[in-house]
Structures are given as C-alpha cells and as structure tokens.
Structure 1
Amino acid sequence: MKFLHTSDWQVGRTFGFAGDVAQGALQAQRVEVIHRLGLLARSHGVHHVLVAGDIYEHETPARLTLHQPLERMREFSDIRWHLIPGNHDAHTPDGLWSRLLRNGSLPENVIFHGKPGAVLIDEAENAWLLPAVLQRRHVLTDLSAYMDQETTPPDALRIGLAHGSVTGFGSGGEEEHNQLAPDRAEKAGLSYLALGDWHGFNEINARTFYSGTPETDRFDIGGGGGGEALLVTIAGSRATPQVERCRTGHHVWKKLGEVTLTSHEDIYALEARVRSIAPEHTGSVLAWAEVSGLLSMEDMALYDNLIVHSLAGAVTCLRLSGEPQLAADLDDLDYFGEAGAVRNAAGVLLSKVSGGGEEGAVAADALQRLFLFYKDLGGAGT
C-alpha cells in the first residue's frame, strides 16, 4: 500500500509582514501546491492522499477561497483525497464542512471524514482509515483514544489520521489542547499514524509522523522546515512503514539573523547572500534580515539602491527589521556642492546629528533622505 500524507494547507492564510504583491504570491501557492501534490501522487502510482486537517485557515473563508482547493483536487479524478478537520477548520454544526456537505459541493473523489470510526478505503489492500475528528477548535480529550478499541478485519492495514499535539511536543498554550498520545500507534495496533498541526516534518516514532505543511509559511518552524509531503509505503499490517520526504513547496524561506553593515563590501555581501539562497529561482525567496550598522552617505545610497530597491524587487519578499544609521561628517557636506540652500540645510542637520539624542536621530534620518533625494535629482557627487 502506498499513500501520500500531507496536512496544514491553510488555504486563505494572510501574512502580516508581506506587501500586496508578496501576499498574493504566497496565497496563490497555498492553492497551487495542491496540484503539485496530485502530480506527486500520480507519479508514484498513489491512489490515496491523506490530509491531516487544517485544509483552510479560517472557519468562514470567502466563497472563492472555499472552492479553490476542492477544484484543484477535482482535477485528479484517479486519486481519492481523504480529509479531516483541524483546529482552524473544525467540523462545527454550522461550519464550512457542514455547509459543503449540505450543498453537495465536494467532488466525488474528495472524501470528508466527519465522524470517528474505521472506514475501508482500499479493499484490495485491506486498508482501513481511522480518523480523529475535531468538532470544535479545542478539546481537552485525546480524540485518537477510540482507535485502541476500534475493530477491523484480521491483518488489516490500520491507518490513523489525526490533528493535534503529541504530549510533550511543541511549545506554548496550544499544546494543552488537542493532545494526542505519542504511543497511540502502538496502543491501537496502527500500521501508521498520520498527524497534522505541526508545520514542519517530525518523526515521533517508526509509525507516527507529522508531514508538515506542503508550502512553507513561516521563517522559523523548527527543524522540519515545511514544504514537503510524505510518501508512505507499507508492505503489510505488521511491517515498518517506509517514509520518504518529498519536496512540494515553491517558496524558500530564510531567516538571516543579525546583519551589521559598515561598508560597501558588507552591502554587496548581503546581496550575494540573499541571491545564493535559491540561485536558480531568486523570485521564490523570502528573506528576513535584522539590519544595523553605520554607513557613510555614499554607502547609504548604495544600500538604498542595491538592497531596498533592486534586491527587494528580485525576491518574493525581503523583510528588513531595523536599518543602518547614517555616519556623516563635515567632508560629506561636499556631496551637496560648495554652497547654496541645500548645502546649508545639510550643514544644519549635520550639526543636530552630532548633538545626539532623539533630535539627532531625527536629523540623521532627514539628512539621509536629503542626500538620497539629491542624488536622484542628479546633484553634486553623483
């Protein structure tokens, strides 16, 4: 038996740090990755894709957002897509799943598992799916516990599907809710337990895995990284599953950490570092740098042109926390010519910069803007 394990699509997710263009690109790939999942399954002769919850980001998505993933799955009529709700799209009485079921909107090849209990999904392989179903966002009980007593035919492949946190795994208050026993596969005699909720790949034990989200959605999600799906092969009910991590993500997220800029060499090094993240497709990159340092007027102009504008235009998103400060002295006033109103204004600002404090910081920012504006107009020193 072969199947694909994926989770946490979270279609409709928004990204507060991203501008409109980057936002649109990120949201589009959360839908398009479903097509890549279908192609991956088909290329390996897989007829079942198990989606361990959080298909949607919100319980009340816009109508277009609601139907987009369904239409992507419909394209692969030779594949059965098995869905369960997650904490973001729980199966509430008047929730999105109830509406879809009432309206008959689910394609024939998309099976929503809305109640616990063993379901035969592949007669030839004697494969039974045991879903755990979240009917509200948070529960305090282990919804996978019923699997221990759930009966299936002899030598059946018992495949668990659940969304939640393994006890002692993860961090934060969310871990107190939707807990799952880490030894559930052993207790329930499962051949495999497919989990969702954690956005990076994680192997809990030989039969229990988090697939992570198929399209990475944050800069730091632990060692798993995201952007993958799991190809699972099971030779028999008692055989150890063979699990292969398959790349499905389009975007590459990279957190660069602290970057101190003090010269034009540092600026060129930052540019090269970002472009090297995915040199074959720079447009797929999201990079985040915490920038600081002191730059001369000329280097500040280079930073503005090379990083803030050119490099930001090359990648999907360049997130810059902080910025370098202007280090100016009397010699820098020569950029504004030998005399004139602009030179005099720059001199006044420079004197305030030297005074330090809050006024000095404002003056430094104003002097930097004046210099960049002057260069753009083709002033002296350009």
Structure 2
Amino acid sequence: MRFVHSSDWQIGKTFNFAPDDVLHILQQARLDAISRLGNLAREQGASDVLVAGDIYDYESPSDRTLRQPLERMRQFPELRWHLIPGNHDFHQPNGVWERVRRLTLPETVRLHLSPEPVAITPDEQVWLLPSVLTRRHTTSDPTLWMDEAATPEGAMRIGLAHGSVREFGGDGEQPNLIAIDRPVRAGLAYLALGDWHGFNRISDRCAYSGTPETDGFDKGGDGGGSALVVSIEGPNAVPDITPHRIGHFSWHTMQETVTSSEDIDTLENRLRSLDAQKLSSVLVWLKVEGHLALDDMTAFEERIVGDVGAGLCLLRMDQMPDLVTSHADLATFGEAGVVSRAAGRLQELSEAGGPQQQHARAALQRLAVLWQKEKRA
C-alpha cells in the first residue's frame, strides 16, 4: 500500500496582516498545493491521498470556497481522496460537511464522517479507521474507538485522525489528545495525523504530515510545506515514511540593527539572497532597530521598503529604525510655512517624552522622508 498523507489545508484561511492582493495570492497557493499533492501521488505511484482534517479553515465558508478544493481533486480521477473533519471544520448538524455532502462530489472523493472501518482497496485488504471530530475541542481521545474496531483477519489497518499526541505549547489540559501508543493498542500499520502544521514523526508508525503550505511567521523549522509518501509492504511491516516538499512560499522572521548606509547595503544583500531566483515567493517579517540620519533613512525607505519590498511577496514591518534629525535636517523644511511649523512641533513632542513621543517621532520621520523625496523630484 502506497499513499500520500496530508492535512491542514485550511482552504479560505484569512491572513489578517496581509493586504488584499497578497491575501489572494496566499489563499490561491493553498488551492494550488492540492494539485501538487495530486501530482506527487502520480509521480510516486500512490493510489490514495489521506487528508487528516482541517480541509477548510472555518465552519461556514462561502459556496465558492466550499467547492474549490473539490474541483482541484476532480482533476485526478485515478486517485482516491479520503477526507475527515478537523477542529477547524468539525462535523456538526447543518455544518460545512453537510453542505459538502449535498454537492455533486467527484466519485473519487470520499468523505469519512463517522468513526467506523472502511475498506479502501478493491480487494478489501486495506481498511481505513477514520476519527471524526464533532466539536472543536473534546477532552476524550478521538482514536480510542480504534482499539475495538473489527476488521478482517490479516487486513492492513490505517488510522486517520486529527488531534495532539503531546501538548504543543500552552498550559492546562490539551484538547483532542491522542494516546501516543495508539498504533500499538489498535494494531495499526500506520496512524496519519493532522493538527500540527509541521512534519513530525512521532514513531515508526505515526506521523504528522504538516500543512502543505506554511501559513505563518511563527512556523519556523519544520513549520509546513510538506507532504508524506507512505509505503507499507504488509500489515506488520514498518512503514517507509518519506517527506516531500510541497509548499511554494518561504517565511522568514528577521531582526536587524541598522545605523549607517553600510548596514543598509548589508541588509539589502541579505534580503535579496533569501531566494534570489524566486524572491516573489518569500515573505519577511522584518524588525529593525537603530538610528539613521535623514539621508540614510530616505535610502532605507527607497531601497528596503520600496525596492526589496516590491520584489518580495510580502515585507511586513512593525518596527522601523528611529530617525535622528539635526538642525540642518530641520532647516531643509524652510524658514516658514505649514510644513516647517509642523516639523518643528513634531520635533518638540518627540523630545518631550510622554504618551505622544512615539507617534510624534514616527510622524516626523514620515514627514522628513517625504519632504526629502519631494525636494529630489
């Protein structure tokens, strides 16, 4: 038996930090990943794709969002796609899966909405044991029923579930907690898990595939972009589990100190070297400390925020270097006029401290850089 193990597609995911044009690109990438999964299965000679929950990101997607992943799967008629609910798209009356079930589904898309063994090969020698979440969080083990689930003697048993086998951060009791030795207890050849967004091999017979597209700056290391090709020679054989890169985008968090034009040069080279051939597939959350004079700040905005920012898929900046203004800088605003008076007042507020200091510094910085650009135009 050879199959592809995936999970956590989270179709329709909203990236609140992204502008609308980037949001559309990231959402589209999650759909494109389904096609890459199908192509991976074809290339590897896999007959089935097991998706361990969270196909959708929320309980009430639009009609278009509901249909989009189904149409992607329809393009691979030789594959069987097995889907279970997760904690984001849990199965409830009149919920997302009832809506999916009422559609005209591709014949090869199989919804598993009840915890019962299902033969998934024509010879009925391989049985899938799907766990189904009926609420977002449950304190019971969703795979407990597998221990007593009856299948024909000698059949290969493959579990499919969504939950945690350990507490991935946070305090207190972890919801949807799965026994780490469930494959042994239930006689499973393999337990395919979803919920953790990075590839994580729990044991010889249990793994998380991770989401096929990384979906956040906090997902460093094995933070997604993968799928697993799993080959099992027989019911008692140890599975061969091979990760494959599926994701298109790479996500980076950087914290830099910039105090001179040389530092700007270094930062620009560092950003451009993240992926020189596909800079448009890179997202960067850049936090910059330091102090820059007006000319250098103008160069920083033009070269880093402007040029490199346009080349990247996304440059997110929540922290900028401070602008250090001199009397000569302030003199560039002229001796009179609204702009000059505004700059002088902002300078006073930025030096006075108090609750307005930070906003005054930011406003003075923007005013000075824009005025500098206007003078050069």
Contact 2:167-2:174 at 8 Å conserved across structures:
no
Counterpart Cα distance in 1 of 2:173 and 2:216:
19
- How far residue 270 of structure 1 moved from its aligned partner, in angstroms, is 2.0
What is the aligned-residue identity percentage?
Answer: 48
Instruction: Single out whichever of 221-230 and 231-240 deviates more from structure 2.
Output: 221-230
Q: After superposing the two structures, state which structure 1 stretch, 268-277 or 281-290, moved more.
A: 268-277
Is the alpha carbon distance of 1:150 and 1:348 closer, same or farther for their aligned partners in structure 2, counting shifts above 3 Å? closer
Confirm or deny: 8 A CA contact 1:196 1:211 kept in the other structure. Answer: yes
Q: Which letter maps to 1:352?
A: E
Match of 1:34 in 2: 34
**Structure 2: unaligned runs, 5 residues or longer:** none
Change (3 A) 1:154 1:360: closer
Kindly provide the amino acid, as one letter, of the partner of residue 172 in structure 1: G
What count of residue pairs does the alignment treat as equivalent? Answer: 376
The answer to whether the 8 Å contact 2:347/2:364 transfers is no
* Aligned ranges 1:97-176 → 2 under 5 Å: 97-101=97-101, 103-124=102-123, 126-166=125-165, 168-172=166-170, 176=174
Look up the SS of the partner of 1:122 in the other structure. Answer: coil
More displaced stretch, 220-229 vs 276-285? 220-229
User: Secondary structure of the equivalent of 1:165?
Assistant: coil
Gaps of at least 5 residues in structure 1 are none
Decide whether the 8 Å contact of 2:9 with 2:56 is kept in 1: yes
Identify which of 353, 360, 369 aligns with 1:357.
353
Counterpart pick for 2:207 among 206, 209, 231: 209
Amino acid at match of 1:231: V
Give the C-alpha shift of residue 369 in structure 1.
2.8
Over residues 44-74 of structure 1, what are the superposed CA-to-partner deviations in whole Å (9 max), with x where a residue is unaligned? 1111000000000111100000000000001
Q: Compute the displacement of 1:170 (Å).
A: 0.7
Which stretch of the first structure deviates more once superposed, 178-187 or 348-357? 348-357
Mapping for residues 296-311 of structure 1, pairs under 5 Å: 296-311=293-308
What do you get for the CA RMSD once the two structures are aligned?
A: 2.2
Please state if 1:54 is matched with 2:54.
Answer: yes
The alpha carbon displacement at 1:375 in A equals 2.5
Cα offset, 1:142, TM superposition: 1.0
**Which of 295, 302, 325 pairs up with 1:328?**
325
Q: 2:56 corresponds to which letter in structure 1?
A: Y
The answer to whether the aligner puts 1:283 opposite 2:280 as a matched pair is yes
Which of 235, 246, 254 is 1:237 aligned to? Answer: 235
Give 2:266's aligned residue: 269
1:27-46 CA distances to partner (integer Å, 9 max, x unpaired)? Answer: 11111110111111111111
**Alignment-derived partner of residue 10 in structure 1:** 10
Map of 2:185 onto structure 1: 187
Structure 1 residues 283-319: Cα deviation after superposition (integer angstroms, max 9, x where no partner): 0111112222110000110111112222221111111
**Alpha-carbon offset, residue 223 of structure 1:** 3.7
Superposed CA deviations along residues 148-192 of structure 1, whole A, max 9, x for unmatched, are 1112223221100000111x3312269621111010001111110
Over 3 Å counting, the alpha-carbon distance change for 1:111 and 1:175 in structure 2 is farther
How many Å apart are 1:335 and its aligned residue?
4.4
Question: Residue 198 of structure 1: SS of its match in structure 2?
Answer: coil
Deviation of the 1:347 alpha carbon: 7.4
Deviation at 1:345, TM superposition (A): 4.0
Aligned counterpart in structure 2 of residue 224 of structure 1, from 215, 222, 225: 222
Cα gap change, 1:128 to 1:293, in 2 (>3 Å) = same
Q: Residue 199 of structure 1 aligns to a residue in which SS? A: coil
Quick one: distance in 2 between partners of 1:225 and 1:174? 23
- Rounded Cα–Cα distance in structure 2 between residues aligned with 1:58 and 1:131: 20
Query: Which amino acid in the other structure matches residue 97 of structure 1?
Result: W
Contact 2:49–2:82 (8 Å) recurs in 1: yes
In 1, are the aligned partners of 2:346 and 2:363 still within 8 Å (CA)?
A: no
How far apart, CA to CA, are the structure 2 residues paired with 1:193 and 1:340? 74
Q: Distance in 2 between matches of 1:344 and 1:375?
A: 13
Give the 3-state SS of the residue equivalent to 1:229 in structure 2: strand
1:317 aligns with 2:314: yes
Q: 1:149 to 1:302 in 2, by over 3 A?
A: same
SS of alignment partner, residue 378 of structure 1? helix
